[in-house]
Amino acid sequence: MNAWSDNDDLAGVSQPTNHMSLAQVSCFSIMHRRYAATWTRLVSRELDAIKQAGTWKTERVIASRQGAKITVKGSEKPVINFCANNYLGLSAHPEVIKASVEAAEKRGAGLSSVRFICGTQDIHKELEEQLARFHSREDAILYASCFDANAGLFETLLTSEDAVFSDELNHASIIDGVRLSKAVRYRYKHRDMNHLEQLLGDSQERMKLITTDGVFSMDGNVAPLREITELADRYGAIVFVDECHATGFFGETGRGTEQFLGIQGRADIINSTLGKALGGAVGGYTTGPKCLIDLLRQRSRPYLFSNSLPPTAIGGATRVLELIDENPEILQRIKENTELFRSEMTSAGFKVLGDSHPICPVWLGDAKLAAAMADAMLHQGIYVIGFSYPVVPKNQARIRVQISGAHSEEDINTAVEAFIRTGKDMKIV
C-alpha cells in the first residue's frame, strides 16, 4: 500500500489535458491541492519526529574564510574551528588561493560540459596524472565528488555474477554505491576479520570485491588493511579503499592508510577527495589500474553525465599536492596537534575514540546532550558539532573534534580547557 492510498478523492486522477472543460480543470485543481496537503502533512510529521528525537541539524553560517579561526554569524568574535575537514590548514593558504585564481584567469570559471564532449582541459589531465603518481598507481579519473566516484565504481565494475563485501560502518556513499550495483552483497561486522573470512569462504561468486573506508569518519579508527589484503590474496578478492579521511596527511608523507600501516601499494583501487586535505574545494577521484580507469571513462554514469570540475578546484588541488611534498613540516604539525589533544582530553577523563588520527570523537552517548554541549562550547569560542543518529548509530552520539595543522598549541589547550569546564557543568567528567 503506498502513502496516498487512503485518499479516495485521488483514485484514477490523471494530469489535466487541453480537452478538459473549465469545470474538469477546476475539479482537478481541488483534488491536486488535497493531494499536496496529504504529502506535505506526512513530511511535516517526519520533521517533527526528527526534532523530538533531538537529532535536528542546524546549519551555522560562516562569514569568513575556512581556517583555524572563523567568524560565525551570531557570534560577537571569531571562534576556533574544530570541525572542518581542513586537515592541513590549506583551504585558505595564500598560494592555494593564488593558484585557484590563476587557473580561473587562464581557463575560465567552468567548462559548461561533461568531460567526453568538450569538458576536458589540459589541467584536468595533468591533475589526474599527478594524483596517480601521488598514490603510485597507473592512472586516475576525476569526478565532481568522491560520493560520485563511489556511485560510479561498483555499478560499472560488478555484475550479478559478482560479490561485494562491505564493512558495516562504511560511509554512506559506499553503501549507496553498492546499492546501485547488481552484485550479491555481504556486510561484515566492523573490522571483524573472522567474519569477513567466513563470508569470503562461503561465497561462490565470480569476482569478489572487499570495500572499506581507510579511516572511518565517525570513529577515527583505521581499517585493518594489512589483514584485509592478506584475506584478499587468500580468497582471490579485489580490495577497494575509500581514503577521503587519509589522503594528504595520514602516513609519513601523507599517502594515506597504506603508508600509515606500512603496506603501500597493496590496495587495488583507491577513491578519495579533493574536498578535505587537498584544498577543501570540490572534487573526487578514482585511482588504480589503467584498464579500470579506461572502463570508468566509458561506462561510469556520474562521470559521463556530470559537468567537469571547475578550473579553480583543479588549480588549488594541484598546488596543495606540491606543497605537501615541498613542506613536510605541515604533516608533522597535524601529528603533534593530534597527540596533544588526545593526551590532554584522556587525562581529563573524557573518552576519545579512534586510532591516533586527527578525527577525535568525544563520546557522550545521548543525542540531546551532544547537541547541548556543542552549543555550550560555541559560547566559549570553540566551534564543534554534535553527531547523532542517523549519522551515527542510535545512543552513540558524540562530538567529533577534528584537528588541523593550522591549529596552534594555544588553540588546542583552549579547546581542552573549554571541554573540561563544560564537562563539569554538565556532570560528564
Spot the catalytic one: 171, 276, 357, 407.
Answer: 276
**Residue 170, amino acid:** N
Helix/strand/coil (H/E/C) assignment for every residue in the chain? CCCCCCCHHHCCCCCCCCCCCHHHHHHHHHHHHHHHHHHHHHHHHHHHHHHHCCCCCCCCCECCCCCCEECECCCCCCEEECCCCCCCCCCCCHHHHHHHHHHHHHHCCCCCCEHHHHCCCHHHHHHHHHHHHHCCCCEEEEECCHHHHHHHHHHHHCCCCCEEEEECCCCHHHHHHHHHCCCEEEEECCCCHHHHHHHHHHCCCCCEEEEEECECCCCCCECCHHHHHHHHHHHCEEEEEECCCCCCCCCCCCCCHHHHHCCCCCCCEEEEECCCCCCCCCCEEEEECHHHHHHHHHHCHHHHCCECCCHHHHHHHHHHHHHHHHCCHHHHHHHHHHHHHHHHHHHCCCCECCCCCCEEEEEEECHHHHHHHHHHHHHCCEECEEECCCCCCCCCEEEEEECCCCCCHHHHHHHHHHHHHHHHHCCCC
The sheet with strand 284-288 has its strands ordered as 139-143, 284-288, 269-273, 237-242, 208-213, 163-167, 184-188
The C-alpha cell that represents 210 in the structure block: 572487499
- 245 assigned to active site: yes
The C-alpha cell that represents 134 in the structure block: 601521488
β partners of residue 363: 398
Spot the catalytic one: 124, 135, 208, 245.
Answer: 245
Peptide bond into 310 cis (omega under 30): no
State the pairing for strand pair 208-213/163-167: parallel
Spot the catalytic one: 217, 300, 306, 404.
Answer: 217
- 276 assigned to active site: yes
- Residues involved in catalysis: 217, 245, 276
